[in-house]
Chain A
Amino acid sequence: MSCAETISGYALRSIGWGERLLPKTDFTLCDHAVLIGSGLIWNLYFAVFALGFGFFFAVLVAVARASDRPALRWPAQAFIFVIRGSPLFIQFFIAYETFVLIPKVAFDINLGFMEITAETRWLTKAWLGALIVLFLNTTAYTAQIFHGALLSVPKGDIEAADSIGMSPYRKFRRVIFPSMLRLAWASYTNEAIFLFHATTLVFFSSFPAWRQKGDALYYASYFADKTFNPFVPYPIIAVYFIIFTLILTAIFGLLNRRLNRHMRNVS
């Protein structure tokens, strides 16, 4: 099988297009690279959506955490404490077990009412269930970072906004939020990289890979199990991750430039 054939057969294998059976013997370097790269689609999918949704939710949680009202502050604090205090790995297990139990419960309560049973079934699939876990995880970590940044916004800025009569919403939108982002950006970049790396745990921990549609690590360990040779698949996945980590860092660097465009000499 030539490399072009491999690409057309397996490049989208992880999302169910192309050849049904995975290669069984005589793995070439091309097989490794294409299939692992195909799995990387899942890692990118999880990273992009978890970070995208997590960012907005984290702002809300951070503001709630800094609120004067205990009814807002306490839930936010508890949420952050539980998620940041426990391993992501355990969170995956708990979420999966819970999601598996849900349909059974729903079925017992309203027999024959198929809508709930049908809906909760999606939760046990990785594309939704694992995404929820990753989303909650990054929300908590990001909220903690944003909360710290929120407390370091210069007091003078807020007083200035008050003195020209900005409404609370406008003050947040125009003064506090941009400052907060600027202060938090370096740490947030780190969190984004961590989350991207954490996506490898999805198929490895609990959510089963359906019809061998897995992520990059799933395929890498498939090859390593079959060939007993870790020196080909793992370096390949490592190179992929290093490349995408660099791209992620570059994107965040560009955004950082934009956030600081009014400052002098900030690279």
Chain B
Amino acid sequence: MTNGKHQGFYFSFITVLSLLFVTVPFILALGFAGALARRAQFAPLRWFGLAYTSIVRGVPDIVFFLFALIAMDQGIEYIRHMVLCPEVTDPVRQGNDFIVCAKAKMPLSSAPEWAHKSYAFFQASVAFSVVFGAFAANTLYGALAAVPAAQLETGAAFGMTPRQTFRRIHLPQMWIYALPGLSNLWMIFIKATPLLFLLGIQDIVYWARELGGTKTGIFDYPHADWRLGYFLFLLVFYLFLTWISERIFTRITRRVSRGQATIGGAV
């Protein structure tokens, strides 16, 4: 349990947890952008917001992950190809191949291994942010609409500009309505992290398979098939993660519903 081969396994837990925390600001930012776009006066922006949220939510997330990953990869390499090697005139897509010049590879094939790994991690974070941003946008949109109109009218009656009303009343009052949806989203997000494995990240699922199997891609073990044991351990890990999150969210809900005109706050 403490030999060198397990270091990768332990480190992968940090990978998963860091993915959770790194992407949250981006998810919320994209969520806000999406929600505000859907409320915008300018019609094309509104359509864009609606298209973003409904397409991403209408498609299974794993499909979107796989698509976003290759699309992003090829998009970046294509742009680099155009900028860095303008002298190559051959088309990038030749039959079934996607060929860019060596300088345009991302990351460069000469780059150290950690660069490859962190680039893959970065791509996965972007894919997760885009998908969960759409879900967050939907929740925040609903929450913004749920704030009682009377509260906003009160703001206007005090002579606040629309911008002031939004910042001082609409936004702070929205959180209580957004919280149930956001906590639900967080739970879904936690449970989506094993999909990192499918995105080619060496995450906990990858190591559980490698270390548990008798004969795997990199190791050859004398022990029997222990994958079931490793997976049961992951199950407990996730149960703990969701259990602790649920407790934290219960606390936050109690905190923000103080003094609100809802059932939970009417104390």
A44 is an interface residue with CB less than 8 A from chain B: no
Whether B231 contacts A93 by the Cβ 8 Å rule is yes
Which of chain A's residues have a CB closer than 8 A to the CB of B228? 94, 97-98, 101
List A residues 207-253 near B (Cβ within 8 Å). 217, 220-221, 224, 226-231, 234-235, 237-238, 241-242, 245-246
Range class of the B interface residue count: 35 or more
The contact of A93 among B64, B67, B227, B242, by CB within 8 Å, is: B227
The contact of B58 among A220, A224, A241, by CB within 8 Å, is: A241
Q: List 6 A-B contacts (CB under 8 A).
A: A25-B96, A82-B235, A86-B191, A90-B235, A93-B227, A230-B66
Interface string of B192-203 (1 = CB under 8 A from A): 111101100000
List B residues 89-111 near A (Cβ within 8 Å). 93, 96-98
A198 is an interface residue with CB less than 8 A from chain B: yes
Whether B192 contacts A221 by the Cβ 8 Å rule is no
Whether A229 contacts B66 by the Cβ 8 Å rule is no
Question: Please, how many angstroms separate the alpha-carbon atoms of A224 and B71 in the complex?
Answer: 11
A113 is an interface residue with CB less than 8 A from chain B: no
* A85-B238, A85-B242 known; A226 vs B96 contact (CB < 8 Å): yes
The contact of A228 among B59, B97, B190, by CB within 8 Å, is: B97
B267 is an interface residue with CB less than 8 A from chain A: no
Whether A197 contacts B60 by the Cβ 8 Å rule is yes
The contact of B194 among A90, A198, A224, A234, by CB within 8 Å, is: A90
Range class of the A interface residue count: 35 or more
Which A residues have a C-beta under 8 Å from some C-beta of B? Answer: 25, 81-82, 84-91, 93-94, 97-98, 101, 197-198, 200-201, 204-205, 217, 220-221, 224, 226-231, 234-235, 237-238, 241-242, 245-246
Whether A97 contacts B227 by the Cβ 8 Å rule is yes
Question: Please, how many angstroms separate the alpha-carbon atoms of A227 and B67 in the complex?
Answer: 13
B74 is an interface residue with CB less than 8 A from chain A: yes
Whether A87 contacts B58 by the Cβ 8 Å rule is no
List B residues 116-155 near A (Cβ within 8 Å). none
Minimum CB–CB distance from A195 to chain B (whole Å) comes to 11
Minimum CB–CB distance from A1 to chain B (whole Å) comes to 17
Question: Please, how many angstroms separate the alpha-carbon atoms of A87 and B96 in the complex?
Answer: 36
* A234-B66, A242-B58, A242-B59 known; A227 vs B96 contact (CB < 8 Å): yes
Which of chain A's residues have a CB closer than 8 A to the CB of B71? 230-231, 234
Which of chain A's residues have a CB closer than 8 A to the CB of B191? 86-89
Question: Please, how many angstroms separate the alpha-carbon atoms of A206 and B154 in the complex?
Answer: 57
Minimum CB–CB distance from B145 to chain A (whole Å) comes to 16
Whether A89 contacts B235 by the Cβ 8 Å rule is no
Whether B74 contacts A230 by the Cβ 8 Å rule is yes
Minimum CB–CB distance from A153 to chain B (whole Å) comes to 17
Whether B96 contacts A237 by the Cβ 8 Å rule is no
Whether A87 contacts B231 by the Cβ 8 Å rule is no
Which of chain B's residues have a CB closer than 8 A to the CB of A94? 228, 231-232, 235
* A86-B239, A94-B232, A242-B55 known; A204 vs B192 contact (CB < 8 Å): no
Which of chain B's residues have a CB closer than 8 A to the CB of A87? 190-194, 238
Minimum CB–CB distance from B190 to chain A (whole Å) comes to 8
* A86-B235, A90-B235, A93-B227 known; A224 vs B63 contact (CB < 8 Å): no
